[in-house]
Structure 1
Amino acid sequence: MATMADVARSAGVSVATVSHVLNDTRPVLPHTRQAVLDAIDLLGYTPNTLARSLVTSRTRSIGLAVSAISNPYFTEILQGVEAAALEQGYGLLIADPHDDPVHERKVVQLLHERRVDGMIVAPSADPRQLVAYLGRHQVPAVFLDRLVDTADGEAPADGAPADAPRHDQVCAESAEPTARLVTHLAELGHRRIGLVAGLPGLSTTRERIAGYRLGLAGSGLPYEERLVAHGDSESAGAERATAELLSLPAPPTALVTANNAMTIGALRALRDRGLSVPGDLALCCFDDFAWADLFSPRLTAVAQPSREIGAEAVRVLLERLASPGRPARTLRLPCTFVHRTSCGCPEPLPQSEKGTAP
């Protein structure tokens, strides 16, 4: 098995230079770097990551704790995290906290014990144990998709405003895009618009309810609490919530579902009652997904930049590792309104037919 010394002899450089190329610890002239890389390739040299971590106190690994199995939305985020980490030479250790605060605390501890350099976590609805563990052990972390505020147990840093974030956070906009869905339905003439909301306690749930109310207010419609039912961010819960809304004495004529899993549950509830979309009830959803364009009718949706969120979280975490003392920040990425036909709008003309004379 080739060693670092073998690589140095083949490239005609010192072992220290090979180390600098492998670890990016000092600038190396381009032709020298290429000579080292060519020697590594020729000899089939594989760096000893474990030995390197003992010297540098870094494992070049990132822990990712998201409910990827139970929530398809996080699968795309995972792909963004993995690609960005690999591009920067980092490996990925993945754990599924199942949106359970106790299990979340256990998997974060497990990742920490595996000596990851930092973590990316999509917090549960009750992240107090998570936040306490990360703070106690000073683990560099980025919160993903769901935000954590000071009410969730973080102590303000010295001199920091009381409402300042204590960890870096990366998410998509939620309130304004949800308001856009409600406004669109109102413009189509709907006056009773229901919302299938997510799991109580999640920041995404709070923000999408806020956006729902904002859209109603902007359209001159009153807020009715009974038109909001919690689907708990999963399909079965959304099926129950939709049935609850449909059982009202004056049921909604249009529905907004607050994530992709709940869209499936809502559609199942409508099918079981023999109701069609948009003939009997118009539907818009938060979260576009791969097969949304294949439904009949095609689903009008808000598309989140899932992979970009994952990649941005890696970038922010690596910046945190490079500059541990910088202030924490929250980054929000814009969403896209994808206009299809489940809202009741007609199928748009093909591009070739637009502008032609009748």
Structure 2
Amino acid sequence: MKPTMADVSRHSGLSIWTVSQVLNGKSGVSERSRVAVQEAAAHLGYVVNSAARDLKRNRRSGISVITASTENSYYVDLVQGVHAELRGSTYTAMVSDIASKGHYSQEIEDQTIESVLGARPAGLITTLPLSKKNLDLLERWEVLVVFVDSPPPEGANRAASVTTDNLKASGDLGDHLGLHGYRNWVSVMYPSRWPTRAPRVKGLQDAARRNGASLTVLDAGNDMTSAADALSEYLASGSRPDAIIAGNNPLLRGVMGALATHSLHAPQDLGLVSFDEFAWAPLTTPTMTLIDEGAARIGRQAAALLLDLIERRESSNEAIAVTDIYKPHDQIVMPAKLTIRESCGCHT
């Protein structure tokens, strides 16, 4: 049987009132009693029903985070940043993956939002734009939203976001390829459902024009296998690019597999670069040149912004609509950094 507060009371020898005060983080209890209650609860395996407690207090202590494929190190690092920022606060993060292994569906999005709303979170950090229906639901249930890695929906002037300047970042990456003299570029890209694709492709196209290069964009899913298939089919046709750009690190793994299958090696046969830093990029052979968005830093910024929004709502003296809490400065654009290693042809 599951232990109850009454069990903790009997085990500690203290009153239900004292146990309740301790387990709900309230004052008015001696340190000796507090320790006794905590030890009794730990021994019995008693866990506070935080959802019921929040409901009673008319307060929400959970924050939901929606990622779009935890196979991508970007999202793993982002979530670590969120957790780091929330540490020491009264809020905890609950993470859901809306596109496991890079496969998105509207049905999964709907189920995820239903689950999020069922937990009654104080706010949501989402890495995909979400459908209008689900955004309307979140607003109706007064859930504050911070968009990460994707801009707010078109026309949403009252919204909060932390995004990367992908246009400039991809332009910097393309210009670096141009410095190497590469003129035939191929980019393996994920679907447009991920809104970072459009500015990344445009930045590369602009850089290609500046450097007198051609750019071919190969459509793939957001996973290693489809990336390998797309590039293998292109190479099997006899085409030989002198530079390849992977849209993110799952696609990079597929690209590297396809190159190995066709006995092509970077940087001897071509330049190879990618978006999104990952922990083992300095350990690959060759070490990987890529765009580093600083995902953990973005996660911290998004969590800090959401906590600020929650504080604004709680400190307001009157009931206001969720959309009235957002301010123009809540749409933050972060710079990214080109990290140069060996795969592009540089000697570091």
TM bucket, shorter chain: 0.7 to 0.9
Instruction: Tell whether the 8 Å contact from 1:179 to 1:214 is kept in structure 2 after alignment.
Output: yes
Q: Which of 92, 103, 108 is 1:103 aligned to?
A: 108
In structure 1, the partner of 2:131 is 127
Instruction: Tell whether the 8 Å contact from 1:258 to 1:286 is kept in structure 2 after alignment.
Output: yes
What is the identity, as a one-letter code, of the residue corresponding to 2:346? C
Q: Which of 198, 204, 229 is 1:206 aligned to?
A: 198
Give the CA deviation at 1:49: 3.6
| 2:251 is aligned with 1:262 | yes
| 2:60 is aligned with 1:59 | yes
Give the CA deviation at 1:279: 1.1
Q: 5+ unaligned residues in a row in structure 1: which ranges?
A: 9-14, 24-32, 151-162, 349-358
TM-score normalised to structure 1 length: 0.77
Instruction: Tell whether the 8 Å contact from 2:228 to 2:257 is kept in structure 1 after alignment.
Output: yes
Inter-partner Cα distance in structure 2 for 1:331 and 1:180: 20
Inter-partner Cα distance in structure 1 for 2:246 and 2:105: 22
| 2:177 is aligned with 1:180 | no
Give the CA deviation at 1:54: 2.9
In structure 1, the partner of 2:145 is 141
Instruction: Tell whether the 8 Å contact from 2:54 to 2:60 is kept in structure 1 after alignment.
Output: yes
Match of 2:196, SS?
helix
In structure 2, the partner of 1:154 is none
Inter-partner Cα distance in structure 1 for 2:237 and 2:173: 22
Q: Which of 256, 275, 281 is 2:270 aligned to?
A: 281
In structure 1, the partner of 2:86 is 85
Give the CA deviation at 1:50: 4.5
What is the identity, as a one-letter code, of the residue corresponding to 1:313? A
TM-score normalised to structure 2 length: 0.79
Change (3 A) 1:144 1:109: same
Inter-partner Cα distance in structure 1 for 2:15 and 2:76: 38
Q: What is the root-mean-square deviation of aligned Cα atoms in Å?
A: 2.9
Give the CA deviation at 1:208: 0.6
Change (3 A) 1:217 1:93: same
Match of 2:240, SS?
coil
Inter-partner Cα distance in structure 2 for 1:263 and 1:40: 56
In structure 1, the partner of 2:296 is 307
Inter-partner Cα distance in structure 1 for 2:50 and 2:286: 52
In structure 1, the partner of 2:325 is 326
Instruction: Tell whether the 8 Å contact from 2:275 to 2:290 is kept in structure 1 after alignment.
Output: yes
Inter-partner Cα distance in structure 1 for 2:331 and 2:50: 32
Instruction: Tell whether the 8 Å contact from 2:128 to 2:150 is kept in structure 1 after alignment.
Output: yes
Change (3 A) 1:131 1:37: farther
Inter-partner Cα distance in structure 2 for 1:78 and 1:190: 36
What is the identity, as a one-letter code, of the residue corresponding to 1:312? Q
What number of residue pairs does the alignment pair up? 312
Instruction: Tell whether the 8 Å contact from 1:105 to 1:129 is kept in structure 2 after alignment.
Output: no
C-alpha offsets along residues 109-142 of structure 1, whole Å, 9 cap, x if unaligned? 1111122111111216x63343232234332111
What is the identity, as a one-letter code, of the residue corresponding to 2:204? Y
Inter-partner Cα distance in structure 2 for 1:321 and 1:198: 34
Instruction: Tell whether the 8 Å contact from 2:178 to 2:213 is kept in structure 1 after alignment.
Output: no
Match of 1:255, SS?
strand
What is the identity, as a one-letter code, of the residue corresponding to 2:249? N
In structure 2, the partner of 1:216 is 208
Percent sequence identity over matched residues? 24
Inter-partner Cα distance in structure 1 for 2:121 and 2:152: 22
Change (3 A) 1:287 1:145: same
Higher relative contact order (CA 8 A, sep 6+): 2
Instruction: Tell whether the 8 Å contact from 1:196 to 1:229 is kept in structure 2 after alignment.
Output: yes
Give the CA deviation at 1:311: 1.6
Inter-partner Cα distance in structure 2 for 1:297 and 1:215: 24
Match of 1:135, SS?
helix
What is the identity, as a one-letter code, of the residue corresponding to 1:148? P
Instruction: Tell whether the 8 Å contact from 1:105 to 1:133 is kept in structure 2 after alignment.
Output: no
Give the CA deviation at 1:58: 1.6
C-alpha offsets along residues 235-282 of structure 1, whole Å, 9 cap, x if unaligned? 112112222443456532101111011111111110000111111111
In structure 1, the partner of 2:218 is 229
Give the CA deviation at 1:290: 1.3
Change (3 A) 1:266 1:211: same
Inter-partner Cα distance in structure 2 for 1:310 and 1:291: 20
More deviation, 283-292/44-53: 44-53
Instruction: Tell whether the 8 Å contact from 1:200 to 1:232 is kept in structure 2 after alignment.
Output: no
More deviation, 296-305/56-65: 56-65
Give the CA deviation at 1:217: 2.9
In structure 1, the partner of 2:119 is 114
Match of 2:265, SS?
coil
Inter-partner Cα distance in structure 2 for 1:239 and 1:298: 20
Instruction: Tell whether the 8 Å contact from 1:231 to 1:237 is kept in structure 2 after alignment.
Output: yes
